[in-house]
């Protein structure tokens, strides 16, 4: 008979046999086979078949009461065949129940398990097989919960590292710490750009460099096109190696070397690879270099109009303000939003993400986000567009709309010269000049048709605070805010203010 394929084990974390033996309520005792710490169990299965091979998937703790054991002579040969078939099927361990069939574990079974290296457990009469199976699932659930908690904590720490002033080294350091690993970032030419973590075993870096060639796409003119895998793994002694391609065809590769491999290690390393893809991909394009140059010039005192050409798109951009529907924005979510809107120009604030989008692209509502969009603007109009987007976002949140655009249709306001309208607005709103919060509250309240609750949501304040501010505005302006003519005049003034 041909050798069986590798056992098909479930995605849940395995249970160390030692953890099952440590359960005092079960009273299990190992009487043969290798030490328990070297054995893990993926599930428990009960069978009284004389040949359980066809019914095993691999990784089981097989439980039996020995009903299949022949009473006549020849039990030794039976157990030899029985145990060899369990081992051939990939069984992890055997549990033999005492009573009602057998008072003791047959010596021939103990000898067979010892010879084939199969852990043998004695199950006392007070312990049911269903109780053993339940304990396996309980331990498996605890391990799964611990694994999920580990992944979640690692995701949070990696995201925080990505937002530091030195994001790439910070992410590598955090990854190395979380996995107790040696982590390296390889550039497109194969050189090590950054590294972190414990010193690797001799030969590790050379083995990792060879592994990176598996996931790095061919770029030479003589090379035939080939699709490289996103990740690859290998081993060097007891050191586990993994390589992750960053950003598709960018050529950057993350290499990780660990002692052993835990179930969650691949997930954590994949999160780090995504973050590093976002951090390295933009710097390799000509557009990214131009944007970097524009930022440097702005920091050195250049006017926005002077650097607008470096950003492309003729200098016309849309400002988009976005806020997640649940929680606060994080670097990974902000980068994903920018990618969805088609722009890498992202500003991650405490509560709001701002994105500069080329004017030729039409932003669409994004699942899980509330958006406010300003009108297309030249460099000298970017601050105004930023304010428009902020007000549009406030209105979107108040009206529970996924996206609101700032209106730019011509109307009655266009009949009044802008300078005259601005002067009138300054004079009319002068009593509120000392209180910016009052002006903004009045603007939002009027835009939401006098709704206290919507205004409170838009401004992130209590509805009583809105009432107090609006009442204060009415007193300072000496106006009846219930009069529609007054409201209209104030609205036009606030638009021109």
Residue by residue, pLDDT tens for the chain (497 residues) are 344 444 454 556 788 999 999 999 999 999 999 987 778 999 899 999 989 999 898 999 999 998 888 765 457 788 999 999 999 999 999 999 998 888 899 999 999 999 999 999 999 999 999 999 999 999 988 888 888 888 889 989 998 888 877 788 889 999 999 998 899 888 777 788 888 887 777 888 888 888 888 887 654 444 445 566 788 888 888 888 898 888 655 678 899 998 877 778 888 998 898 888 887 765 455 556 666 677 677 767 777 777 766 666 566 788 999 999 887 887 777 877 877 787 778 888 888 999 988 887 788 888 889 999 998 888 778 888 898 999 889 888 888 889 998 874 545 555 566 677 788 888 888 988 888 899 999 999 998 888 999 999 888 899 999 999 999 999 999 999 988 888 888 988 887 66
**Beta strands in 201-284, from DSSP E residues, in sequence order:** 231-236, 239-245, 253-259
Sheet holding 93-97, edge to edge: 29-32, 120-123, 93-97, 60-64, 43-46
Helix, strand or coil for residue 241? strand
Quote the pLDDT of residue 462: 92
Question: How far is 340 from 291, CA to CA, in rounded Å?
Answer: 19
Centre a 10 Å sphere on the Cβ of residue 331 and count the other Cβ atoms it contains: 21
What angle do helix axes 463-477 and 452-459 make, rounded to 10 degrees? 100
Question: How far is 66 from 101, CA to CA, in rounded Å?
Answer: 7
Q: Kind of pairing, strands 369-373 and 403-405? A: parallel
Helix, strand or coil for residue 350? coil
Strand partners, 405: 373
Question: How far is 372 from 267, CA to CA, in rounded Å?
Answer: 34
Q: What is the DSSP string of 264-325?
A: THHHHHHHHHHHHHHHHHGGGSHHHHHHHHHHHHHHTT--HHHHGGGG-GGG-EEEEEEEES
Residue 486 to residues 121, 471, 493: CA-CA distances in angstroms?
87, 14, 11
Token pair in block for residue 184 = 């390296």
Quote the pLDDT of residue 86: 95
Q: Kind of pairing, strands 353-358 and 317-324? A: antiparallel
Quote the pLDDT of residue 316: 79
Strand partners, 73: none
Quote the pLDDT of residue 174: 93
Quote the pLDDT of residue 496: 67
Which run of H or of E encompasses 357?
strand 353-358
Contacts of 28 by beta carbon, 8 Å cutoff, 6+ apart: 20, 21, 95, 121, 122, 123, 124, 127, 132
Token pair in block for residue 483 = 């009069």
Assess contact for 323 and 355: CB atoms under 8 A.
no
Token pair in block for residue 382 = 């970017």
Token pair in block for residue 98 = 């005492």
Quote the pLDDT of residue 339: 74
What angle do helix axes 436-447 and 382-399 make, rounded to 10 degrees? 60
Question: How far is 137 from 43, CA to CA, in rounded Å?
Answer: 7
Helix, strand or coil for residue 404? strand
Question: How far is 278 from 286, CA to CA, in rounded Å?
Answer: 16
Quote the pLDDT of residue 6: 46
Assess contact for 367 and 304: CB atoms under 8 A.
no
The model's pTM is 0.49
Torsion-angle region of 58 (φ positive above 0: left; ψ -120 to 50: alpha; else: beta): left
């Amino acid at each position: 008979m041909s050798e069986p394929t590798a056992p098909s084990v479930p995605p849940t974390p395995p249970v160390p046999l030692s953890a099952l033996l440590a359960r005092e309520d079960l009273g299990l005792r190992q009487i043969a086979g290798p030490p328990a710490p070297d054995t893990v169990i993926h599930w428990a299965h009960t069978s009284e078949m004389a040949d359980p091979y066809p019914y095993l998937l691999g990784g089981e703790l097989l439980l039996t009461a020995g009903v299949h054991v022949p009473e006549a002579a020849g039990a030794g040969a039976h157990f030899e065949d029985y145990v060899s078939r369990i081992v051939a099927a990939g069984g992890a361990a055997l549990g033999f129940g005492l009573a009602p069939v057998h008072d003791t574990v047959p010596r021939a079974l103990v000898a067979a398990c010892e010879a084939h290296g199969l852990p043998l457990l004695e199950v006392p009469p007070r312990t049911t097989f269903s109780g053993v199976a339940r304990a396996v699932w309980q331990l498996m659930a605890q391990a799964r919960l611990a694994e999920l908690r580990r992944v979640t904590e690692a995701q949070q720490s990696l995201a925080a590292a990505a937002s530091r002033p030195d994001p790439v080294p910070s992410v590598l350091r955090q990854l190395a710490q979380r996995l107790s690993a040696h982590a390296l970032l390889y550039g497109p030419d194969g050189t090590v750009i950054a590294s972190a973590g414990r010193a690797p075993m001799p030969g590790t870096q050379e083995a990792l460099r060879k592994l990176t060639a598996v996931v790095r796409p061919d770029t030479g003119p003589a090379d035939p096109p080939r699709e490289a895998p996103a990740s690859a793994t290998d081993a060097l002694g007891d050191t586990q190696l993994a390589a992750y391609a960053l950003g598709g065809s960018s050529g950057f590769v993350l290499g990780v070397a660990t002692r052993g491999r835990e179930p969650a290690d691949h997930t954590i390393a994949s999160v780090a690879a995504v973050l590093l893809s976002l951090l390295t991909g933009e710097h390799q394009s000509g557009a990214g270099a131009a944007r970097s140059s524009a930022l440097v010039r702005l920091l050195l005192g250049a006017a926005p109009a002077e650097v607008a050409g470096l950003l492309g798109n003729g200098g016309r951009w849309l400002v988009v303000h976005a806020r997640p529907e649940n929680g606060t924005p994080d670097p990974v979510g902000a980068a994903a939003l920018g990618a969805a809107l088609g722009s890498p120009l992202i500003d991650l604030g405490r509560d709001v993400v701002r994105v500069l989008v080329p004017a030729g692209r039409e932003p669409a509502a994004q699942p899980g986000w509330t958006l406010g969009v300003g009108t297309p603007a030249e460099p000298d109009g970017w601050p105004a567009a930023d304010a428009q987007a902020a007000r549009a976002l406030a209105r979107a949140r108040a009206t529970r709309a996924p996206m609101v655009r700032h209106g730019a249709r011509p109307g009655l306001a266009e009949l009044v010269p802008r300078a005259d309208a601005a002067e009138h607005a300054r004079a009319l709103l002068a009593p509120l000049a000392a209180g910016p919060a009052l002006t903004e509250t009045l603007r939002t309240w009027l835009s939401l048709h006098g709704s206290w609750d919507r205004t409170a949501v838009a401004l992130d304040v209590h509805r009583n605070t809105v009432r107090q501010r609006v009442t204060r505005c009415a007193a300072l302006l000496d106006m009846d805010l219930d009069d529609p003519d007054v409201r209209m005049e104030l609205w036009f003034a606030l638009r021109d203010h």
